[in-house]
Amino acid sequence: MPPVETQQQFDSGLGLEVVFPTPGQIMRRRMLTHKGFIIGGLMVLAVFIVAIFAPYIAQHDPYHQDLSNRMITPVWSETGSWEHPLGTDAMGRDYLSRLAYGARISLFIGFSCMAIAAVIGISLGLIAGYFGGMADMIVSFIITVRLALPAVLVAIAVVALMGGSIQVVVMVLGCLIWDRFAVILRATTQQIRAMDYVQAAKAAGCSIPWLMIREIMPNLLNSIVIVATLEIGRAILLEAALSFLGMGVQPPTPSWGLMISEGKDMMLFDPYLVTIPGVALFFLVLGMNLFGDGLRDVTSPEGRS
Amino acid sequence: MVEYALQTENIKKEYTISGGIFHGKKTLKAVDGVNLSIPKGSILGLVGESGCGKTTIAKLILGLEKKTSGELYIAGKEISSMGSKEIARIIQPVFQDPYSSLNPRKSIAKIISLPLRAQGLANGAADIEKKVDDIMEIVGLAPRLKHNYPNQLSGGQRQRVAVARALIMRPEVVLCDEPTSALDVSVQAQILNMLLDLRSELNLTYLFISHDLAVVEHIASHVAVMYLGRIVEEGNAEDLFSNPSHPYTQALLASVLTPDPELGLPEIQLGIEYPNPIDPPSGCSFHPRCSKCQEKCSIVAPEAVIKSGKLVECHYPDNF
Amino acid sequence: MSALLEVKHLNVDLNLPAGTLHAVRDVSFSVEKGKTLSLVGESGCGKSMIALAIMGLLPPSGICSAEKIAFEGLDLQKMSEKKMSTFRGARMAMIFQEPMTSLDPCYTIGNQLVEALTEHKKVSAREARDRAVFLLEKVGITGSASRLKQYPHQLSGGLRQRIMIAMGLMCGPSLIIADEPTTALDVTIQAQIMGLLASIQQEFNMGMILITHDLGVVSRVADDVVIMYCGQVVETGNIKEIFNNPIHPYTRGLMECIPVPGKTKPGEKLGSIPGIVPTPIGDLWGCSFRSRCSLATQECAARGLELIKISDKRSFRCINPPVTIADA
């Protein structure tokens, strides 16, 4: 890696004494120059701002039905008005308000599914990678079983049995999308476990939880964060798919997937009903993936300059 | 009476290797009955080619692997009766590659103080800091490096950090696994000098594992030569280097290339390949590569005999 | 007799974010047929960059300039990339430190050996295979017919390095560049591989550039030595002159660093060179070694320190040599 910071030596003409930056400095410097990371981060940040300030953005109650103002088209069409910038739906609810509150649902589902998946996947991956042998065989079998299950079908079956609600959707999706965490963490743990510094820590008398959490985990953090961003995107899309099928979040909650589902009957006449939440979903998931991709480059220890 | 810092008695380590569906399971004897004893304050050099089991011995002694059979005494106590923390207080390692032996995500102070924190031996942060400062001075690291990260240090500085980490708990024994072979020549000399100084200052015992015989001859007081999991020759460093008895030791010594332009390259008659440890040769395991091999050698494994003050495992040590 | 390879005033600069790194500064040497020239120095001294510059394999940030890089009378600098690629491997072979990474794990040894030849020359697969068998025997590998069907991972490090040597020889090159060929190997194998390289070089009358940091290996194999520090040549000469009468303080320091059985007393302090190697970035002048040299004076920082030539082959770059030149 090329030196980035240098310091003139006492007695010039000898060249420089190279001062290498700390891992943190390298990361900060790369963050500021990585386009994908910045663009993706800004996209996700935008959705966050919308979600946090939803009450201020929304001029109407997202649940309030006003049947006299049904199917008002967005402001850029001929019949649109600034009263409802994104129009209203078939129930006369303000689309912008529903979209803003929907961001909360999507982000909440994305992050909480990821958190559940991370806990399951990281534990399984660490155990399999660190202990190897029998533990590895059992975990690998569990992973294989999980990969053989079609996520959407299982989710539909469970929701059909337990009824659709945000809590159920989060639990079901969280318990279904941990596979990537487990697979990637298992492989990286295997690599890191063999490093001499882990052996040295073991020889210093560190306990197994200490080794896993304090010595191995910091070196897994970048893989974890990258998988986490991808899983958030995946959870958001799965939620939308479930809601679209009527098996996820139940009406009248303003979920983006549900909005698409409710708009699909009128899709041919009023395409904005489907396009607007669709674009929002695309925007958020693209941002998440760009951000995750950028994070991988930014945090990779050896750097790819 | 000599007090031993480390003693092994007929210690063995076997691994079960699965050879695929059609071959069934095989046993790899990585360490096959090794007797070593290191008196307090001495330096034992353990020499051998890669794959001879010297790293496995290191792992057994550090408690990173469990022995299959035999006895291993650390400061007079059997290892299986000791907890990992107790072993760690007596014996600490310095590994070969200073680039992989330091956690890249931790600062130098954190790396050096790890054993103290893991054992809960320090009284608060101030005590840890003081001990880290002390040990950094002892190994010759500038105090300003404390808050740096491993990637900011040169190879020699990293190896000093590894030594500091090993010494912070003031262990009795330091196990050096090829501590200089990844370093540049001038840095290697610095580290060797430091290890020798530290030994007399802190009254340490070293188990020095290396394949570089010139370095071992320089540093060790006793030497054991290992081949395919067994010690084939062991003795006082001076005797062993001036008068090697085992043909393998002789071949090893002959292959050391000292800087001397008057000499050409030595003829090494060892054959081109180290035997596969899963499938060791019959009789004396060295016989397929031995230039003095007799009929008996391929049938009967030799017993250790005492030959001019050294232990030698060879049927015909007199032939030379 | 004209030299096989002649390098005159070679400079390699690498453009880094921190500035221009002068990796190789004004290096000249020549290699003759059947002779071994050794480039010696610690890591980062630019010795590998020289090899890459000759082979035309510098990284994109590298800029190479030289008065002359002539190989078999042809100027390599003026050669097109296409012509250069036919030269690489065919006329010049390179052997690297880690044989595992230079062999493709997906192909058999036989495939790789045959391809090394058919890529450069129009020969039938049959002829190429015969040559592979012939060369495997030359590098001491018996049962070559079965070896050809093996994959790299099935072989030990020493065997892989032998295969690499055989592969380098497939096209009958006239120059071998060996970059730390034995560093990753055991001592017994190291001596064998060096012996093999030396005998093959004699047999085929090739020139060899041996790049290493191991003075022991150099002293046994090389004919001429170039000692490098910080991208510069600090001392060059015949192997015996250099080892028996080193002049430059750096050369002397290096030799005192190695424990030599019989010469250094066990347990005694080894000589060592204090300090660290500066990185040659920016405007440089004076002797690069002066920050670590115990004999350095004010004059060592003067500009324009040239190599001082004392005989046809012997020269050094020091204005305060610790020995009088008459002794050397």
Per residue in A107-148, pLDDT (tens digit) is: 999 999 999 999 999 999 999 999 988 999 999 999 999 999
Cβ-defined contact of C284 to A4 (cutoff 8 Å): no
Select from B66, B57, B68 the least CA-distant residue to B14. B68
Chain C residues near residue B246 by CB distance under 8 angstroms: none
Q: Which helix (H) or strand (E) holds B25?
A: strand B25-39
C226 φ, ψ to 5°? -120, 115
C6 φ, ψ to 5°? -125, 125
Q: Check if C285 contacts A (Cβ < 8 Å).
A: yes
Cβ-defined contact of C216 to B259 (cutoff 8 Å): yes
Which residue out of C183, C200, C243, C257 would a mutagenesis test of the B interface target, given it has the greatest number of B Cβ atoms within 10 Å?
Answer: C257
> What CATH number labels B4-319?
3.40.50.300
Q: Which helix (H) or strand (E) holds A7?
A: strand A5-8
What secondary structure letter does DSSP report for C140? T
CA B247 to chain centre: 21
Question: Is the pLDDT higher at B22 or at C26?
Answer: C26
Q: Smallest Cβ distance to A200: which of B87, B93, B104?
A: B93
Which residue out of C25, C250, C290, C291 would a mutagenesis test of the A interface target, given it has the greatest number of A Cβ atoms within 10 Å?
Answer: C291
> Sorting pLDDT into bands at 50, 70 and 90, what band is A304?
very low
Which residues on chain A place their C-beta less than 8 Å from a C-beta of chain C? Answer: 2-6, 9, 11-18
Per residue in C237-250, pLDDT (tens digit) is: 999 989 988 999 99
Half-sphere exposure of A133 (CA within 13 A, CB side): 4
Structurally, chain C folds into a number of domains equal to 1
Q: Which two tokens stand for residue C127?
A: 């002829």
Chain A residues near residue B115 by CB distance under 8 angstroms: 204-205
Determine the distance in angstroms separating the CA of A2 from the nearest CA of chain C, rounded to an integer. Answer: 6
Determine the distance in angstroms separating the CA of A197 from the nearest CA of chain C, rounded to an integer. Answer: 22
Answer whether residue C136 is part of any domain: no
| pLDDT on residue A5 | 39
| pLDDT on residue A1 | 34
Answer whether residue C291 is part of any domain: yes
Cβ-defined contact of B95 to A22 (cutoff 8 Å): no
Mean pLDDT is lowest, of B20-29, B138-147, C262-271, for B20-29
pLDDT above 60: residue A3: no
Q: Check if C195 contacts A (Cβ < 8 Å).
A: no
Cβ-defined contact of C284 to A16 (cutoff 8 Å): no
| pLDDT on residue C322 | 80
Residue C258 is part of which domain span?
Answer: 5-91+173-316
| pLDDT on residue A12 | 55
CA distance A84 to B94: 71
Cβ-defined contact of B114 to A204 (cutoff 8 Å): yes
Whole-angstrom Cα Rg for chain C: 21
pLDDT above 80: residue C210: yes
CA distance C17 to C7: 29
Answer whether residue C113 is part of any domain: no
Q: Check if B114 contacts A (Cβ < 8 Å).
A: yes
CA distance C24 to A63: 73
**Looking at chain B, which residue has its C-alpha nearest residue A20?**
B152
Cβ-defined contact of B103 to A219 (cutoff 8 Å): yes
Determine the distance in angstroms separating the CA of A13 from the nearest CA of chain C, rounded to an integer. Answer: 4
Cβ-defined contact of C257 to B189 (cutoff 8 Å): yes
ipTM above 0.90, yes or no: no
> Sorting pLDDT into bands at 50, 70 and 90, what band is A89?
confident
| pLDDT on residue A178 | 92
Q: What are the residues whose beta carbons fall under 8 Å from the beta carbon of B242, sequence distance 6 or more?
A: none
| pLDDT on residue C289 | 87
Q: What domains are defined for chain A? A: 1-33 (no CATH), 43-299 (1.10.3720.10)
DSSP string, A176-198: HS-HHHHHHHHHHHHHHHTSHHH
Q: Check if C278 contacts A (Cβ < 8 Å).
A: yes
In order of A64, A175, A234, A241, A279, the CA distances from A258 in angstroms are 16, 22, 17, 9, 14
Q: Which two tokens stand for residue C46?
A: 């630019």
Are the C-beta atoms of residues C1 and C207 closer than 8 Å to each other?
Answer: no
Chain C residues near residue A15 by CB distance under 8 angstroms: 22, 230, 278-282, 284, 288
pLDDT above 60: residue A275: yes
Chain C residues near residue A16 by CB distance under 8 angstroms: 18-19, 278-279, 281-282
Chain A residues near residue B165 by CB distance under 8 angstroms: 200, 204
CA distance B209 to B298: 29
Mean pLDDT of C77-92: 83
Chain A residues near residue B105 by CB distance under 8 angstroms: 23, 218-219, 221
Q: What are the residues whose beta carbons fall under 8 Å from the beta carbon of B203, sequence distance 6 or more?
A: B40, B41
Answer whether residue C98 is part of any domain: no
CA distance A55 to A254: 14
**Looking at chain C, which residue has its C-alpha nearest residue B251?**
C188
CATH number at residue C267: 3.40.50.300
CA distance A182 to A125: 4
**Looking at chain C, which residue has its C-alpha nearest residue A20?**
C18
Answer whether residue C201 is part of any domain: yes
pLDDT above 90: residue C182: no
